[in-house]
Structure 1
Amino acid sequence: MLARLRPYAPTAALAFLIFYFGFHAFTGERGILSTHQRDEALAAKTRELALLQAERRDLEARAHLLRDTSLSADLLEERARSLLGFSDPKDYVIRLKR
């Protein structure tokens, strides 16, 4: 019986490989059916990137105001009060945990 099926073994192996790779092309991690998940992940990462870029621009602007060439008295006073823990008696201080 095995001798009769031996000529079809390469064809069966090739058919199995075609089925295997075709199945994973559709349902695999990077398959055709998972494009929706990749699009959602890309949108989430794009939003995160936009937030990080805005935060970086803000930090760069604040760092620029603290340089010797363009020292901002208000920002310097804010940083000194924050680091030293001082406040004006008329100020309302609300401390938040980071």
Structure 2
Amino acid sequence: MERVGRISRGLGQAWLTGLWFFLIAYFAVHAFQGDNSLSALKELEKQAVLLKAEADDVALQRERLTHRTELLGGKVVDPDILEEQVRVRLGFTHPDEVILLLK
């Protein structure tokens, strides 16, 4: 009878140990795979860096456009900006000029 008691206690402890191994393996697998894993976190960090760079480019473009708008819309219009706009809209050029319009 003693031997049966020791075996049953050993099975109970083995079952508990197996449960712990299963839980550890379960969480380890999900830590490295899936939507909320460490690799997904690295991808999100890369995407954040790219989006930050794009946001900086857009902010710089906005700053340039704001500056050009201020030059055209103030009480005194900048003659160079006005001439550039007239040439673009009406197609005027001097005979000795070559105009390259870049977008």
TM-score range, shorter chain: 0.5 to 0.7
The answer as to 2:70 corresponding to 1:70 is no
Partner residue of 1:52 out of 33, 48, 58: 58
- After alignment, is 82-91 or 57-66 more displaced? 82-91
Q: Report the equivalent of 2:87.
A: 81
Percent identical residues: 26
Equivalences, count? 82
TM-score, reference length from structure 1:
0.67
CA RMSD of aligned residues (A): 2.4
Give per-residue Cα distances to partners, 1:38-69, cap 9 Å, x unaligned.
11111110110010000000000000000141
| Structure 2 unaligned regions, length at least 5 | 1-18
Distance 1:88 1:24 in 2: 70
Distance 2:56 2:91 in 1: 32
| Structure 1 unaligned regions, length at least 5 | 1-11
TM-score, reference length from structure 2:
0.65
1:1-98 to structure 2, matched below 5 A, reads 19=26, 23-96=29-102, 98=103
